Amino acid sequence: MNSIAILGAGTWGIALAKMLKNTNKEVTVWSALPDEIEKLKKTSRHPKLPNVSLPLGIEYTTDIKSAIENKDIIMFAVPSVFVRQTAKKCKPYIKDNQIIVDVAKGIEPDTLMTLTEVINDEIKNPTVKYVALSGPTHAEEVSIDMPTTIVSACKDIEIAKIVQCFFSSSFMRVYTNTDIKGIEICGAMKNIIALATGISRGLGYGDNATAALITRGLAELSRLGNAMGCSSDTFSGLTGMGDLIVTCTSLHSRNNNAGFLIGQGLTPDEAVKKVGMVVEGINALPAAIKLGKKYNVDLPIINAVNNVVNGIVSPRVAVNSLLNREPNPAQAPLHKQPCCAAT
């Protein structure tokens, strides 16, 4: 097993393309944007990773058929809003027993499907195996070979191990997990909490507020995950607490940075434009609100962010509303769990 098609030429897809090529994999990158592909061919650089030179031998194409045919692994790295239409384009060329890896993060708002479920809904081939690859992973760090950990999640642990082996490198350690739904819920919802910590910083609040938002945000994610039948361990592991820490505290985080700009007074549209990349936390909000209602789970931080993003309240009023909620002594504290849910 040595070949991969990477669908999407954003920073994360390109960072993984570089890493995989440097571990002697056959890598093809597809994008629906001809200008994007032409620039990559000519410069061997991504505009958002200007100091990273991409290795020779990566193939770049806008032809999805040639990109995915006869590949051992097909990886979806497009923004969440484009996952379904990309899967639809792939469908005629998907072979039986294909391994499909998703690294995009989000929940489809209309169906409340996770992204591997969205792909499966379009492909409709029961032999295809789906893996979610997720964790605390900034493209800016992976692209320069900084130490990183990530989780390969699949209902079939043997498939998760195949992907684990494929993506392992001297600086990336890959763990495995069978709770694919929990992994995907963490990946989507943590971006909303990162918006909250960014808004808090934009308002001038300090580390105390950030710590509170991260830990209480984790409690919200855990309550929702438990209601959906996910494993509690997943939320205290790399894809839960680990990804929350990196997304909520790092200056690399587009969601954290967008929240910061909103806290400073920019509108959400202005903040997204200034960040210059897709802000998945904003895209995830409609699905998060619907899931909370569907499973009757209290999500005060997520609801507060939704109110800010939709202009219902100002950021400062949203923070005050969180601080002045009625105490809930019956609410169970976050369970004590092992620090890493991966095996």
Contact 41, 54 (CB under 8 A): no
Continuous H helices in 228-279: 232-235, 243-249, 254-263, 268-275
Question: Of 21, 25, 105, 190, which is the active-site residue?
Answer: 190
Q: What pLDDT, in 10s, does the model give residues 76-107? A: 999 999 999 999 999 999 999 999 999 999 99
**Is domain 188-323 classified as CATH 3.40.50.720?**
no
Confidence of residue 330 (pLDDT cuts 50, 70, 90): low
Residue 323 is predicted with a pLDDT of 85
- pLDDT exceeds 50 at position 298: yes
**Angle between helix 254-263 and 180-202 (nearest 10):** 30
What is the C-alpha separation between 40 and 46, in angstroms, rounded? 6
**Domain spans, the chain:** 3-178, 188-323
Contact 103, 135 (CB under 8 A): no
Looking at this protein, which amino acid is placed at residue 332?
Answer: A
- pLDDT exceeds 60 at position 185: yes
CA-based R_g, the chain, Å: 19
- pLDDT exceeds 90 at position 156: yes
- Among the listed ranges 145-159, 164-178, 314-328, which one has the minimum average pLDDT value? 314-328
Nearest CA among 116, 118, 147 for reference residue 131: 116
Residue 193 is predicted with a pLDDT of 96
**Angle between helix 11-22 and 157-167 (nearest 10):** 80
Task: Report CA torsion sign: 94, 97, 99, 105.
Answer: positive
What is the CA 225 to chain-centroid distance, rounded? 16
What is the C-alpha separation between 261 and 76, in angstroms, rounded? 29
**Angle between helix 254-263 and 300-309 (nearest 10):** 60
Q: What pLDDT, in 10s, does the model give residues 19-74? A: 999 999 999 999 999 999 999 999 999 999 999 999 999 999 999 999 999 999 99
Q: What residues form DSSP beta bridges with 7?
A: 30, 76
Q: Is 293 a catalytic residue?
A: no
Residue 252 is predicted with a pLDDT of 87
Confidence of residue 336 (pLDDT cuts 50, 70, 90): very low
- Candidate CATH numbers 3.40.50.720, 3.40.50.300, 3.40.50.80, 3.30.499.10; the one for domain 3-178: 3.40.50.720
Q: What pLDDT, in 10s, does the model give residues 201-210? A: 999 999 999 9
